[in-house]
């Protein structure tokens, strides 16, 4: 990532909006923004498939679901953040992946300029294809700054997207089980 180029661009934006980039409070802003962009766009340098390569042979024939995976992403249309939770499930076909790896693919896919709809599709395709799963389901729930800070300015709205693959798409009972588990009351870990 070209941090100096980002700094120069941020300085130009400050000038274009009528600010003085030499003002005390703004002196370090271009460098801060460059470092922030390097962090929030770090997924551009990561192939999320790497997290799904190490699997374990386990004869588990029921759904595996990790829900409430927090994520932050950046809307590619306005470069404003959207934040939310991902819920990912799959039906194994003789192999499972470490649970944290599902959170890692969410991080990798969300840390790039993104739209929620594509992010949902990418996650479902990754799980289905890389794990050779019988089926995969993904639901994302997010709040978008581009809807609350500008334009229509509707705070509190939530966007929900889903992507179903394999048996999650073709079997209504599997799909219903997944959706009911995603929306069931949260249990406290440990009792």
Catalytic residue among 7, 87, 107, 116: 116
Determine whether 114 is an active site residue. no
- Whether residue 21 lies inside any domain: the answer is yes
- Give the ranges where 88-150 is alpha helix by DSSP (H): 99-110, 116-131, 145-148
pTM score, whole prediction: 0.92
Residues 28 and 119 in one domain: no
Residues 11 and 76 in one domain: no
Cα-to-chain-centroid distance, residue 44: 13
Residues 80 and 14 in one domain: no
Tokens at 15, concatenated = 């000038």
- Whether residue 153 lies inside any domain: the answer is yes
Q: Is the pLDDT of residue 23 over 90?
A: yes
Count of domains in the chain?
2
Report the CATH number that the domain containing residue 90 is assigned in CATH: 3.30.1130.10
- Whether residue 137 lies inside any domain: the answer is yes
Q: Is 78 annotated as a binding residue?
A: yes
Determine whether 144 is an active site residue. yes
Say how far apart CA 122 and CA 183 lie, in whole Å: 22
Catalytic residue among 19, 78, 141, 177: 78
Per-residue pLDDT, 119: 98
Residues 104 and 63 in one domain: yes
Residues 71 and 157 in one domain: yes
Q: Is 75 annotated as a binding residue?
A: yes
Across the chain, mean pLDDT equals 95
Give the pLDDT confidence of 59-113 residue by residue, as tens digits: 898 999 999 999 999 999 999 999 999 999 999 999 999 999 999 999 999 999 9
Per-residue pLDDT, 147: 86
Report the CATH number that the domain containing residue 15 is assigned in CATH: 1.10.286.10
- Whether residue 188 lies inside any domain: the answer is no
Residues 136 and 105 in one domain: yes
Residues 23 and 52 in one domain: no
Domain housing 17: 3-40
Residues 58 and 147 in one domain: yes
Say how far apart CA 80 and CA 99 lie, in whole Å: 29
Residues 17 and 64 in one domain: no
- Whether residue 191 lies inside any domain: the answer is no
Residues 87 and 132 in one domain: yes
In the three-class reduction of DSSP (H, G, I as helix; E, B as strand; rest coil), residue 161 is classed as strand
Catalytic residue among 12, 28, 39, 76: 76
Q: Is the pLDDT of residue 191 over 60?
A: no
């Amino acid at each position: 990532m070209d941090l100096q180029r980002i700094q120069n661009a941020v300085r130009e934006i400050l000038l274009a909006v009528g600010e003085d980039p030499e003002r005390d409070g703004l002196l370090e802003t271009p460098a801060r923004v460059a470092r922030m962009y390097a962090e929030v766009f770090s997924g551009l340098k990561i192939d999320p498939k790497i997290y799904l390569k190490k699997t374990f042979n386990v004869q588990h024939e029921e759904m595996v679901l990790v829900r409430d995976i927090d994520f932050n992403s950046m809307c590619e249309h306005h470069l404003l953040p959207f934040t939310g939770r991902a819920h990912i499930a799959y039906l194994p076909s003789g192999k499972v992946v470490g649970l944290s790896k599902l959170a890692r693919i969410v991080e990798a896919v969300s840390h790039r300029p993104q739209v929620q709809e594509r992010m949902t599709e990418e996650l479902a395709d990754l799980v289905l294809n890389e794990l050779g799963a019988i089926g995969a389901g993904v639901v994302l729930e997010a709040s978008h700054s581009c809807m609350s800070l500008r334009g229509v300015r509707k705070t509190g709205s939530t966007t929900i997207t889903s992507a179903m693959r394999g048996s999650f798409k073709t079997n209504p009972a599997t799909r219903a089980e997944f959706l009911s588990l995603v929306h069931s009351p949260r249990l406290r870990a440990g009792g």
